[in-house]
């Protein structure tokens, strides 16, 4: 076989560089490129300038806001030596010196990154503790970056505490987490915490416009605004969506178009949603369902429809408050929002919000999402035809509507067969052989209210746990009536037992103070009144 067939005489083909996704290609390399975190950058810059560097930093925030990127930038800033090799810690690392390049490429021997999701145990932390005793090989600081630190085990956190509180002067710890509530308080108290904010949609849209310009790709501003809103404050998520949108555009040079992005994300057309919202307000059930089915046939998720309608209600409410509109809103959309704001009252907007929110939750759990969405929209339409409660009240006040007179409840005559007092209640129980309950009623209950089967009382001492349940069941069985028994505080009346004792004491004093008995006691000072304790009343 000839060498030409083997391709040996052909010039070597240049090796094609592997494609890097936008989220990695445009990862910030300086603090000036870190978008949406100005407050944190200023605090770090002041700390570095004044030499007030913490020994441990905790970076928290939602996904994709720059926690790991910030940790690497801090590592760069602390170890940068400048282009002349004489520089110190700085908030503006040069990016040219060997430490900066090595850290950016992930190969610096003194900057150790660890993923706590796959290194959760005490053995992994023990290695860090042992290695931290030794000075940095070539850098100013030995830096440990632990991502998703909340996934460390309890033993790992405990093992890290002592070193984290008093680390060697040459060691810095940088922690990143999306779930700061899972990090022990003992660790949080030893770190300087930075909460990275969600990046505003307007800032993301501006960032994406610079990215597409650098990539030499045409993109419609509204398309970038859609991607920014879909990213929900995450630069990484937004760049991933933008990467997909550029690939979706193909090789025809069409660029990133709004309708293509909307179709790719399964978003509803905002113009169509404004038309649907108008149909809901007009009470056009047939037209609203037809518009919903049209969006559904285009591949729009029913839950996304309700979400867009909720955003519309929110936008109308903000327009009614004369709030500053979002930068991504078109002039046509702003005009519609202001028209609706003038026509709808705040109570009507609040009612729309509650109805749509309820529908959104129902669709999320429904076995038939599109049918559930249709029923939710019909509920909104029918509610829109009902008069506003405030307007209804004004019409009643003006006499346009006659308010129905409330029917006064007729007091029911007490059942003569029911016990009408606490004493009668105890006697009733005793007559029906509920002796223990009768004894407890006499000994424990202080009467407060006795209105047929509606009884309130206080307690002279702690009642048995099941006393009310047992007493209610006994009375229901013996009277055929459901009793409402309530134990209340602050009742000072006497129990039947206390009342009996008080009566007996009063009678005894009356006997002792009678003239005949008093004369007998004066004649016979040592005489005593005997037999009194044996004279028991019917309560005994």
Q: Name the least confident of 15-29, 231-245, 331-345.
A: 15-29
pLDDT tens, position by position, 210-248: 999 988 888 888 889 888 888 888 889 889 989 888 887
- Residues with Cβ within 8 Å of residue 517, at least 6 apart in sequence: 511, 529
Going by their DSSP bridges, the two strands 171-177 and 484-487 should be labelled as unpaired
Q: Which residues contact 227 (CB under 8 A, 6 or more apart)?
A: 204, 205, 208, 238, 241, 242, 245, 261, 265
* pLDDT at residue 220, as a whole number: 87
- pLDDT exceeding 90 applies to what percent of the chain? 20
Average pLDDT over residues 327-345: 79
Looking at the DSSP assignment, which residues form a beta bridge with residue 458? 446
Q: What is the dihedral of CA 315, 321, 322, 326, to 10 degrees?
A: -30
- The DSSP code sequence of 453-496 is TEEEEEESSPPPTTHHHHHHHHHHHHHSS--EEEE-S---PPPH
In this predicted model, what pLDDT tens digit does every residue of 349-397 receive, in sequence order?
A: 898 999 999 999 999 998 999 999 999 999 998 876 666 666 656 666 6
| Mean pLDDT value of segment 155-172 | 89
At residue 304, does pLDDT exceed 50? yes
Task: Give the chain's end-to-end CA distance (angstroms, integer).
Answer: 125
Q: What is the dihedral of CA 490, 494, 497, 502, to 10 degrees?
A: 150
What's the confidence (pLDDT) of residue 58? Answer: 93
pLDDT at res. 268 = 61
Lowest average pLDDT, out of 44-58, 244-258, 295-309, goes to: 244-258
Of 370 and 508, the one with more pLDDT: 370
DSSP helix/strand/coil, 68: helix
Residue 146's pLDDT is what? Answer: 92
66 torsion bin: left (phi>0), alpha (psi -120 to 50), beta (else): left
Round to whole Å and give the CA distance between 254 and 246.
Answer: 10
Tell me the mean pLDDT in the region 268-272: 72
- Each residue's pLDDT tens digit, 409-437: 554 444 557 888 888 888 888 888 888 88
Q: Which residues contact 475 (CB under 8 A, 6 or more apart)?
A: 453, 481, 483
> 531 pLDDT band (50/70/90 cuts)?
low
CA distances from 241 to 190, 193, 222, 311 (A): 38, 30, 14, 21
Tally the residues of the chain.
540
Q: What pLDDT was estimated at residue 384?
A: 67
Q: What is the model's pLDDT at position 400?
A: 55
What would the mean pLDDT of 500-528 be, rounded to a whole number? Answer: 76
CB atoms within 10 A of CB 145: 24
Reference 293, options 371, 230, 231; nearest CA is 371
The average confidence (pLDDT) of the chain is 82
Report the pLDDT value the prediction gives residue 171, as an integer from 0 to 100: 92
Taking the alpha carbons of 83, 87, 91, 97 in that order, is the dihedral positive or negative? positive
Percent of the chain with pLDDT over 70: 85
pLDDT of 63 higher than 80 = yes
Q: What is the pLDDT of residue 274?
A: 87
């Amino acid at each position: 076989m000839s060498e030409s067939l083997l391709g040996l005489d052909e010039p070597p083909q240049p090796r094609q560089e592997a494609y890097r996704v936008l989220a990695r290609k445009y990862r910030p390399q300086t603090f000036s490129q870190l978008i949406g975190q100005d407050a944190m950058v200023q605090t770090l810059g002041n700390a570095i300038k004044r030499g007030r560097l913490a020994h441990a930093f905790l970076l928290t925030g939602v996904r994709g806001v720059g926690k790991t990127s910030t940790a690497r930038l801090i590592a760069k800033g602390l170890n940068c030596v400048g282009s002349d090799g004489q520089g110190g810690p700085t908030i503006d690392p040069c990016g040219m010196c060997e430490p900066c390049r090595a850290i950016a490429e992930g190969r610096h021997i003194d900057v150790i990154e660890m993923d706590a999701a796959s290194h959760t145990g005490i053995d992994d932390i023990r290695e860090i503790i042992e290695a931290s005793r030794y000075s940095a090989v070539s850098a100013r600081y030995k830096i440990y970056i632990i991502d998703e630190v909340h996934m460390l085990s309890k033993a790992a956190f405990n093992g890290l505490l002592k070193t984290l509180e008093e680390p060697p002067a040459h060691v810095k710890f940088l922690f990143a987490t999306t779930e700061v509530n899972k990090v022990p308080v003992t660790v949080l108290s030893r770190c300087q915490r930075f909460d990275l904010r969600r990046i505003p949609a307007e800032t993301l849209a501006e960032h994406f416009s610079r990215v597409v310009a650098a990539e030499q790709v045409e993109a419609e501003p509204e398309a970038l605004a859609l991607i920014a809103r879909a990213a929900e404050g995450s630069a990484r998520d937004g760049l991933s969506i933008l990467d997909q949108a550029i690939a979706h555009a193909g090789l025809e040079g069409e660029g990133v178009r709004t309708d293509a992005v909307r179709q790719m994300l399964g978003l509803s057309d905002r113009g169509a949603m404004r038309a649907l919202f108008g149909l809901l307000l007009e009470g056009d059930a047939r037209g609203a369902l037809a518009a919903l089915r049209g969006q559904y046939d285009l591949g729009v998720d029913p839950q996304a429809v309700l979400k867009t309608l909720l955003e519309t209600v929110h936008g109308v409410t903000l327009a009614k408050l004369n709030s500053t509109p979002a930068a991504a809103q078109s002039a046509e959309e702003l005009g519609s929002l202001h028209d609706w704001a003038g026509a709808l009252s705040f109570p009507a907007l609040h009612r729309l919000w509650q109805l749509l929110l309820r529908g959104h939750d129902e669709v999320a759990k429904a076995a038939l999402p599109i049918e559930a969405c249709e029923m939710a929209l019909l509920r909104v339409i029918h509610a829109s035809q009902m008069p506003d409660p405030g307007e209804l009240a004004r019409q009643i006040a003006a006499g346009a509507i006659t308010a129905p007179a409330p029917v006064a409840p007729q007091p029911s005559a007490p059942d003569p067969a029911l016990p009408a007092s606490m004493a009668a209640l105890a006697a009733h129980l005793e007559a029906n052989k509920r002796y223990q309950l009768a004894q407890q009623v006499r000994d424990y209950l202080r009467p407060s209210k006795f209105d047929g089967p509606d009884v309130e009382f206080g307690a002279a001492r702690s009642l048995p746990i099941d006393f009310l349940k047992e007493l209610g069941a006994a009375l229901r069985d013996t009277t055929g009536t459901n009793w409402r028994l309530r134990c209340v505080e602050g009742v000072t009346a006497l129990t039947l037992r206390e009342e009996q004792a008080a009566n007996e004491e009063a009678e005894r004093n009356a006997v002792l103070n009678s003239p005949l008995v008093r004369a007998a006691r004066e004649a016979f000072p040592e005489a005593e009144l005997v037999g009194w304790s044996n004279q028991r009343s019917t309560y005994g």
